[in-house]
Amino acid sequence: MTRYLKRGMDAAAVKAADTKVRETVEQILAQVDDRKDAAIRELSEKFDKWSPKDFKLSPAEIERAIGQVRKRDLDDIKFAQAQVRNFARKQRDSLQDVEVETLPGVLLGHRHIPVNSIGCYVPGGRYPMVASAHMSIVTAKVAGVKRIIACAPPFKGGPHPAIVAAMHFGGADDIYVLGGVQAVAAMALGTESIKPVDMIVGPGNAYVAEAKRQLFGRVGIDLLAGPTETLVIADDTVDGEICATDLLGQAEHGPNSPAVLITNSEKLARATMAEVDRLLKILPSADLAGQAWKDYGEVIVCDDYDEMVQEADRVASEHVQVMTRDPDYFLNNMRNYGSLFLGPRTNVAYGDKVIGTNHTLPTKKNARFTGGLWVGKFLKTCTYQRILTDEASAMIGEYCSRLCILEGFVAHAEQANIRIRRYGGRNVPYGQAAE
C-alpha cells in the first residue's frame, strides 16, 4: 500500500499560480501582436533592462562573443554537440519514406518533409542553458530545417558568450539577444525586424511554456516544457546520499521544480530525506532547491516494484532516474515518462548536458501522451496517393461512391462517379451511388 512520507503543494495553490501566469502571458502576447518592435523593446527594457540598437547580433558581434569563451569550454560545447548530432542522425536514419502498392494499380506513400523555419528559445536568467542550444538547433539542422533563428536573454548586460558560441556552432542562421515571453512572441508572430517562423522550440520557465501553449495553432511547438521535474525510483541497492543528490540536481532549477522519490524501502526514504536536509546546508543553490523541495518534493513508499511502476506512471515525470536491482523491469513496464536514466552510473545531468539524448522533455504529466523533442518533431510526415490504371480508379470509385452517399455527401460521391463513368465506362446516374 502506497504511503506518503512527504507531500508537495496542494493542487489548488498550483492552479492559482498557473492562473496568474496565464493572464500575464495573454497581455504580453497581445502587446507584441499589436505593436511589434515597439512592444518588444519596451518589454525587454522592463524585464531585462536591455534595449540595444539591434537585438540581432552581427557577424562581428558573434565572433567577439565567441572570442570570450575559453578554448576548453568551446571544445566541451563541440563535444556535446557531436553527441547530440550523432544520435539525431541515427534517429533520422530510422525514419524512412514509404511507397507501397496496396491494391493492383494503387500506390500510397509518405515522405518526411522538414519544417521550413523554426525559432529556438534558449533560457537564461540565473542559469544560462547553453545545452538547450544543442538540443534544439543541432537537432533541427539534422532534420533539414532551412531557416533557424535563436533567442536568448541578455546576461550581465549583454549576450552570453557561451550561449552565442553554442548557437553559432549548432547552425543558427540568426541570433538575437532577447528573452522571455517577448522573445517567443517575436519569433512566432513576427515584427517589423523579425520574420515569423513556423515552429517554436526549446524549454523555459512557466511563462515561456504558457506562451507556447497560447501560440500553438498559430505556430507549431515542440511540446509544453515547463519547470523541470525529476523522479528517482530506488531500492536498497543504493543509499540516501546518491538519491538526495539526484533529487537536488534538478530541484536547483527553480522553486517550482518537482522532485519525487519512489521506493520500496522506508529506511532508504528516511535516509534520503535526512541527506536532502544535510546537503541543503552546503549547496550553493539551496535557496532555489530548498524551496522546490519544500513546496514540490514528495517521498512515496510502495510495497513492491509493481506498485512503484503504478505510482511512477501516475506521476508521469519528465526525468526518471532508476536505481534498482532490476532497472529493466521499469524500462519494460513503465509507460509515462519523458526520459529514463537506468542504473546509478547514469543520471539526469548527463542527459541534460552531454550524453546525446534530447533534454527538452514533457512536463506536467504530458508524458502520458507525448515524448520529448527529437529529430522527428521537425519533420512533417505527409502522405500521397497515385492510381496507375483505369481499372483501379473505377474499382476504388465504386466503393467511394457508395460510402459518400451513405454519409449524405453527394458532391463527394460525384468525384467518384465521374471517374467511374470516364475510366470504367459505366453510366452512373448523377448524385446516386454506384451499384
Estimate to the nearest angstrom the gap between the alpha carbon of 319 and the chain centroid.
Answer: 13
* Residue type at position 52: P
Q: Which one of 229, 275, 311, 318 is the catalytic residue?
A: 318
- Which of these is catalytic: 319, 391, 398, 414? 319
Contacts of 37 (CB under 8 A, 6+ apart): 191, 192, 193, 194
Dig out the grid coordinates for 268 from the structure: 532508504
Q: How far separated are the first and last CA of the chain, in Å rounded?
A: 63
Cα separation of 366 and 208, whole Å? 16
Neighbours of 31 (CB within 10 A): 18
Q: Is residue 277 within a helix (H) or strand (E), and if so which, with residue range? A: helix 266-280
The residue with cell 533592462 is 49
Distance CA 42, CA 51 (A): 8
Active site residue 319: yes
The DSSP letter of residue 69 is: S
Characterize the bridge pairing of strands 230-234 and 259-263. Answer: parallel
Residue in this structure with the C-alpha cell 511507397, named with its chain if needed: 99
Q: Coil, helix or strand for 51?
A: coil
What span, in angstroms and rounded, lies between the C-alpha atoms of 261 and 273?
9
Q: How many CA atoms lie within 13 A of 69 on its CB side?
A: 24
99 tagged catalytic: no
- Just list the catalytic residues: 318-319
